Structures are given as C-alpha cells and as structure tokens.
Amino acid sequence: MALEFKDLIIGYKNSRKSQQIAGPFDLKIPEKKLTAVIGKNGAGKTTLIKTIGQQLKSLNGAVLLDSQSIEKIPNDQRARLLSFVFTTKLSSENMSVYELVALGRYPFLNWYSKPSKKDAECIQEAIVFTALEGLENTKIHALSDGQKQRAFIARALAQETPYMILDEPMSHLDHHHKAQLLSLMKKLVNEKDKTIVYTTHDIEKAITNADFILALTEDKSFFNTPDNLIKEGVFDILFPQEQVYFNPATSQFLYRDPKSK
C-alpha cells in the first residue's frame, strides 16, 4: 500500500474563484519511514495535510492510496488506513486521557456495539507505548503540552492505521518535549511499522531526524533525503538569503548581521 500525490495542486476554492497554494506534486511517500513537510509560513504545509484528510478538495490531481483516489474511499475504510493529529483544540478538554485514546477505536465500532476486549487491549497498549501510564484518569485540560501531544498520538495509535499524519505536532513544545516527541515518532516507525508524515517549522530537527523531507517553496517543491537536499542546496533557498543562510556543515540556519558587509 502506498500514499501518492499525482499531479496534485492544493489550495482553496469557492464558487467564484480558486487560489493555488502549492504544487503540482508527483511523488510517493516511502512506507515505514518518517517524512517531514517543511516550508515557511503560507507555503502550504497545513493545506497539504487538510487535502490528504479531505477537509479540503484538491484543485487538480489526486491523493492516491493503494492507487485509488482517496476521495473514492468510503469514510469508514479511510479511517482504518489514515489517522490524523491536528493542532486544533478539543471542543471539550474535560474528558480523561483514557476516554480520548478510546476515541481512536471509533472506526471499529457502531452505534450499538460495545468496546471489545481487543479494543481495550489496543487502548491500553497505546497508553503504555506513549508513556501515559498513571494518567489514564487525568483530564486533558490538566496535562502539560507534551503530555497532550502524546495523548493525541496515543489516540491515533489506538486507531491501528498504517499511516499517521500529524500537523505541527511540536508546536508550543520546549526543546526537551520536542526531543521526546521526535523519539516517539521514530519509535512508532521502527517498532510499529508506521508511515508517518508530519509538518513542522523546526527545520533543523527535521534535517537531523526525518528519513525524508518534502520542502515547499514559493515556486516549487523538493522531495528527497535530508543529505541529498543539502547537497542540492535546497535549504539555501527556503528563506531570503539576505536575512538567513544555511550552514551545511552544522545543518543550522543562521541569521545574518544586517550591519555586516
């Protein structure tokens, strides 16, 4: 099974006009790998995630899953293939960690069925895997930002999908919790055979941790391993060069002193 973008152009449209944000994309997301989507604000990172999740329709082309347009896959089947972690807040944070993680089992239940032993096992395994033991009865509003992100990932893990799509999962996290979250995502890839696509503003951590990077610029996109993107000079053109430059030796972005010549 493969997640692919075929002639994909993303953006916004209404009855009167459409606005292209990025694309066209023609690429296949490598399976059982960690892929980061990077680019400056407005480059189309979240728009791409929403297009994969069908919150937005593509302007052209298609997102394919196992060679089938994702638009044509019924919602219940799609929910068993793709799980999402968005940055939007819950409508109510008064539920417990266990209740939130249990929501991940919804694709396997109907209005009349009760959670099975298998459901309970999946929920508990997700809680243990994300190091949330002891917090099962804690309300979401009482968690730290890092714990909340782990709880949302646990919900996606309980959904048992081969693909996990995360939009800015490291937002509002300090360096320690960013490192924890990246370690968790890599563990999901290596131990649970997950294919993970995530958007991030932290390009330096993406370079040192992701297996592949999709870099979005105003004019085009680039997709490759971090090392190959460095060799191609892609990170040199992400930001205005008179303000920021990339040091390939340290994989760091540095600010230019406006007073220097």
User: Any idea which fold 1-50+57-74+201-261 has?
Assistant: Rossmann fold (3.40.50)
pLDDT values of the chain reduced to their tens digit, one per residue, 261 residues: 789 999 999 999 887 888 999 999 999 999 999 999 999 888 999 999 999 999 999 999 999 998 999 999 999 899 999 999 987 777 678 899 999 999 999 888 766 667 788 999 999 999 999 999 999 999 999 999 899 999 999 999 999 999 999 999 998 888 898 999 999 999 999 999 999 999 999 999 999 999 999 999 878 899 999 999 999 999 988 887 778 888 888 888 888 766 655
Taking the whole predicted model, whether its pTM rises above 0.85 is answered as yes
Residue matched to tokens 């081969």: 162
61, amino acid identity: G
Phi and psi angles of residue 156, each rounded to the nearest 5 degrees, phi first: -65, -35
List the chain domain ranges.
Answer: 1-50+57-74+201-261
| Residue 155: closest CA among 209, 222, 107 | 107
Say how far apart CA 76 and CA 186 lie, in whole Å: 27
